[in-house]
């Protein structure tokens, strides 16, 4: 990696966007209850079953670069949606995951699926001390990561062969922005995502391959009750608070049936991307 003036400017803009988004969130959020924010959501990051039904679309793209004897670090491994399928395709995966709720989901899946070549590291990537691997993978983690340059440098330095990053065209919270604006009367600040990441890589003179992944449904829910629970959580509200009560009154006018449940009237599928580059 070559830290250019352009890279410092891009990274500064990335970091500033996250600071502004967090400040806006803090102005409107209910007082936090000091629980893991992924409690109640970790199940949605579970890996596919033994037959690999619902395999993440990034896995086939990564297979082209991965050897059976390779080792992998999965940064922000979540519930194992990437780590466990990769473990069937390489020698060993080190899953770095700071969230207690996510780790419980991951460890449960490891036992249920009989996977023995995954090590779980209960730390944040920024402070985790671990040896390099052949590949470092980071799937849908970086939207709220700041400062971005040290994080990215550590990804690069810990990959002896290749770094692979998955991001969406917009941050996963994007389908809740309209709801935020209707509730609070203020335009939502968007977190950085794929367009900003590619500009950062280009400013660092990192030559990279890009794979377009299939769209994933987003802003859809099995029923209105789940839509309310998920929206309350995504808007950082506490059930029963004044804003949560207003949200419950507002939400029915924002939902339509989609045949399998309900969705936001403005919902659009999430466009996914995989970016990868060699470190040798």
pLDDT in tens, 143-178: 999 999 999 999 999 999 999 999 999 998 899 999
Burial category of 107 from C-beta neighbours within 10 Å (exposed 0-12, middle 13-18, buried 19 and up): middle
264 part of a folded domain: no
Give the CATH number of the domain where residue 140 resides: 3.40.50.150
Question: How confident is the model at residue 219, as a pLDDT?
Answer: 81
N-terminal to C-terminal alpha carbon distance within the chain: 11
Q: HSE (CB half, 13 Å, CA atoms) of 248?
A: 12
218 part of a folded domain: no
Question: How confident is the model at residue 50, as a pLDDT?
Answer: 59
Question: How confident is the model at residue 128, as a pLDDT?
Answer: 94
Q: 132-170 b/e with 16+ CB inside 10 Å = b?
A: ebbbbbbbbbbbebbebbebbeebeebbebbbbbbbbbb
At 21, list the tokens.
């988004």
pTM: 0.89
Question: How confident is the model at residue 43, as a pLDDT?
Answer: 52
Question: How confident is the model at residue 31, as a pLDDT?
Answer: 81
Residues β-bridged to residue 256: 263
Burial category of 238 from C-beta neighbours within 10 Å (exposed 0-12, middle 13-18, buried 19 and up): middle
263 part of a folded domain: no
Question: How confident is the model at residue 268, as a pLDDT?
Answer: 85
Q: By residue range, what is the domain housing residue 137?
A: 5-174+185-213+271-278
Q: How many domains does the chain have?
A: 1
225 part of a folded domain: no
96 part of a folded domain: yes
252 part of a folded domain: no
235 part of a folded domain: no
68 part of a folded domain: yes
Q: HSE (CB half, 13 Å, CA atoms) of 266?
A: 12
CA distance 265 to 253: 9
pLDDT < 70 regions, the chain: 32-52
């Amino acid at each position: 990696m070559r830290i250019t003036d352009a890279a410092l400017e891009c990274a500064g803009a990335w970091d500033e966007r996250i600071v502004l988004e967090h400040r806006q969130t803090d102005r409107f959020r209910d007082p936090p209850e000091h629980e893991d924010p992924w409690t109640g959501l970790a199940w949605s990051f579970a890996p596919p079953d033994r037959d690999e039904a619902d395999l993440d679309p990034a896995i086939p793209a990564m297979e082209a670069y991965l050897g059976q004897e390779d080792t992998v670090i999965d940064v922000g491994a979540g519930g194992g949606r990437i780590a466990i399928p990769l473990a069937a395709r390489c020698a060993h995966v080190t899953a770095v995951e700071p969230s207690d709720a996510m780790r419980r989901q991951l460890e449960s899946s490891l036992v249920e699926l009989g996977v023995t070549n995954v090590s779980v590291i209960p730390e944040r990537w920024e402070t985790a001390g671990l040896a390099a691997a052949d590949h470092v993978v980071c799937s849908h983690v970086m939207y709220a990561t700041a400062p971005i340059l040290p994080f990215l440098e550590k990804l690069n330095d810990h990959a002896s062969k290749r770094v692979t990053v998955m991001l969406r065209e917009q941050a996963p919270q994007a389908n809740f922005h309209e709801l935020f604006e209707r509730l609070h009367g203020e335009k939502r600040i968007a977190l950085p995502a794929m367009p900003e990441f590619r500009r950062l890589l280009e400013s660092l003179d990192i030559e990279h391959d890009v794979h377009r992944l299939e769209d994933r449904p987003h802003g859809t829910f099995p029923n209105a009750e789940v839509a309310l629970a998920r929206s309350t959580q995504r808007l950082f509200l506490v059930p029963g608070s004044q804003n949560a009560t207003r949200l419950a009154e507002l939400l029915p006018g924002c939902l339509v049936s989609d045949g399998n449940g309900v969705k936001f009237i403005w919902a659009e599928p999430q466009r996914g991307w995989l970016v990868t580059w060699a470190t040798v």
